[in-house]
Chain A
Amino acid sequence: MITLLSIILFFLLLIVGKSRGVKTFVTFYLSIILIITYIILMNLGFNAIILALIVCILASCISLFMLNGYNLKTLSSFISIMLVLVLVFIITYTIGKLSNIQGFSSDSVETIGGFSYLINYDMTKVIIGMYLICVIGTIIDTSISVSTSMNEVLENNPKIKEKELYKSGMNIGGDILSTTINTLFFAIISSFIGFFMWHKNDTLSYIINHKVFAQTIIELLLSFIASILIIPITSYISSKVLYKKKLIKDE
């Protein structure tokens, strides 16, 4: 089934995107291998959070440099992504530690019932790592959109001032924000209907404080926050980097 879908995806990408489509397919599967390797290394006992940060850095390299090529646009995106990653890490770590959302709830008893729960590995770290990997895709996407468009603005309007360039970055970011939020909302919420059916007779206060509800809503809000934070940071860094390049060119 998965092979069949992969083949269909490959041919569609080939027809629609040509060589770029093939590159997309290769990087797509590299990313899947990256996530699976992450789980294997965790199983060998490495620290889940440090591993997740490494995965995020590698994921950015794959998406930026392999897919979009090495240039000033992708370089300034890369710097911005690293900065946002630090900020998101701080928020994720604090909330993850405090809110007790590690592991599974009694809802999953059918699925995980056969397993031993004493696994000698802190599940808090696993969920923090999962959140970091979850948000990296949207950070990369928003960042590269903003920096590409800013480069376009600079090329069409070479006399633009650095501050105006920054402002146009913020403007573009604001435009794509609503669709990004939409995309994330449906991607994350799509598997959530079952939860409400399971708890159809429970009170609202029970549902709001439930572990699975908290896990999903925190995932959703963290990815929203990450995709907003990346906008001003990319606008600032790109305006600095791209403007400096223009100044050197002018001289």
Chain B
Amino acid sequence: MKLKTKLIILFILSIISIIFVYNDYFLYSTPIVKIINIKEEKHNNDKDVYYNQEIKGIIQNGKYKGSTVKVTNTTSKSGVYDEQIHKNTEIFVELSNDGTKVNSIIGIKRDKYLVILLVIFIDLILLVANKKGIKSLLSLSINIIISIISIIIFRNNYKTINILLLYIIISVLFIILSLYITNGKSKKTLSAIVSSIISLFVSFTLSFIIIKIFGKDITIWTMEYIEVIYDYENFFYVSILLCGLGAIMDISITISSALNELIEKKPKIEVSYLIKSGKEISKDIIGTMNHVMLYTCYSSIIPLVFLALRNGMILSNALNFYGSLELITVLTSCISIVLTIPISLYTSIFILKEVRK
């Protein structure tokens, strides 16, 4: 019965939040237009099909709520750069002073899709993992809050602050808080925190030195948003630092809790046996962890490399210009993962065994 009530409450809350985000026009000061009618004129280019759209829509908020306006838009079948507007799409627009004409389309309203996915995510995590799910959500929210704070700090001081130094400090904060929240106060957590920090410093220093010395051919200029960062070299190091951070924590806590379990079952267990079983455990995680990093990070090169190929660029150039930074990030993350294993193995044994004495 208790579970049933919880499920019903969860269900009702989910529905309410989705209904809310479908009607949240009043939250926005920018005028929103909901499309009710589209007339399309098809044009065949020798390479592609594109459409000139005559769009009719109703304003949903602000002073001119309820009135109908017309907009024109050009869209292509490929949709590389343009916005594909359909019936019921909601768009942000800039209105003329008297509210009868649309000066320009600012963008598409996408918030509801994010909220739908967020609701699915929260519902699923609570259903599947119950209390552990709440802990995961808590640790995730704290990570998000720290990220936002770090961005605000950087944003307000971007001309003077050293971004790399800032994010090294933030990374240590990330490690301590997320491991502490999800695992509670214990020797296990302490050893995971210490080994994560050591692993992060060792592996990052290694990558840093290698790239500093041998990285003259790196195409940092292809990195997105590079133009706004004064200190673009350090900006690249920050993405290397952060990319493998979660994986380092993952391995540290896995190894330290496995060793903790062994020591708790047999307090007089020998160090050589601990090392041996620690190595066995790490062999199991090493492979799939590397694959997680690869698929998660390297997949992001797909659209850009594809666009380059479609434009007739040869494969090696396309991969070099638009895929090499991601590959470097993935490789350095994998190096961190592999380095973390022996580091956290010996650190954990030291802390768990020493503190016991």
Contact = CB atoms under 8 A, between A and B. Distances in A.
A221 B120 CA distance: 9
B155 A196 contact: yes
B273 interface: no
Contacts of A6: 331
B304 interface: yes
Contacts of B315: 36, 40
A119 B140 CA distance: 39
B287 A24 contact: yes
Contacts of A107: 224-225
A70 interface: no
B48 A118 contact: yes
A189 B147 contact: yes
A76 B151 CA distance: 43
B217 interface: yes
B162 interface: no
A198 B225 contact: yes
Interface residues of B, number: 129
Contacts of A110: 227
Contacts of A214: 110, 113-114
A117 B306 CA distance: 12
Given A6-B331, A118-B47, A190-B243, A28 B306 contact: no
A51 B215 CA distance: 34
A174 B136 CA distance: 9
B298 interface: yes
Given A2-B327, A134-B296, A12 B338 contact: yes
B143 interface: yes
A9 B262 CA distance: 30
A206 B30 CA distance: 9
Nearest to B138: A178
A9 B224 contact: no
B113 A218 contact: yes
A138 interface: yes
A12 B335 contact: yes
Contacts of A102: 79-80, 84
A42 interface: yes
A130 B299 contact: yes
Nearest to A195: B225
Contacts of A191: 224, 239, 243, 300, 329
B276 interface: no
A196 to B, nearest CB: 5
B346 interface: no
A68 interface: yes
B158 interface: yes
A248 to B, nearest CB: 26
A5 B116 CA distance: 40
Nearest to A14: B338
Contacts of A228: 121, 124-125, 128-129
Contact of B289 (A35, A112, A141, A231): A141
A194 B226 contact: yes
Contacts of A136: 295
Contacts of B277: none
A247 interface: no
Interface string B108-139: 11110110111011001100111011011001
Nearest to B309: A43
Interface size class of chain A, counting residues whose CB lies under 8 Å from the partner chain:
35 or more
B299 A103 contact: no
Interface centre among B218, B241, B299 (most CB of A within 10 A): B299
A154 interface: no
Contacts of B269: none
Contact of B250 (A140, A179, A198): A179
A229 B127 CA distance: 10
Nearest to B167: A193
A209 B107 contact: yes
B312 to A, nearest CB: 9
A168 interface: no
Contacts of A179: 182, 246, 249-250, 253-254
Interface in A167-192: 170, 173-191
B27 A205 contact: yes
A170 B129 CA distance: 8
Contacts of A123: 78-80, 303
A27 to B, nearest CB: 7
A182 B249 contact: yes
12 contacts: A2-B331, A91-B117, A103-B79, A126-B303, A129-B302, A182-B139, A184-B292, A186-B243, A187-B244, A194-B223, A208-B111, A228-B124
Interface of B: 27-30, 45, 47-50, 76-85, 89, 92, 106-111, 113-114, 116-118, 120-121, 124-125, 128-130, 132-133, 135-136, 139-140, 143, 147, 151, 154-155, 158, 174, 178, 182, 210-211, 214-215, 217-218, 222-229, 235, 238-247, 249-250, 253-254, 282-311, 315, 319, 322, 324, 327-329, 331-335, 338-339, 341-342
Which 3 A-B residue pairs are closest in the complex by CB-CB distance?
A194-B225, A137-B295, A118-B48
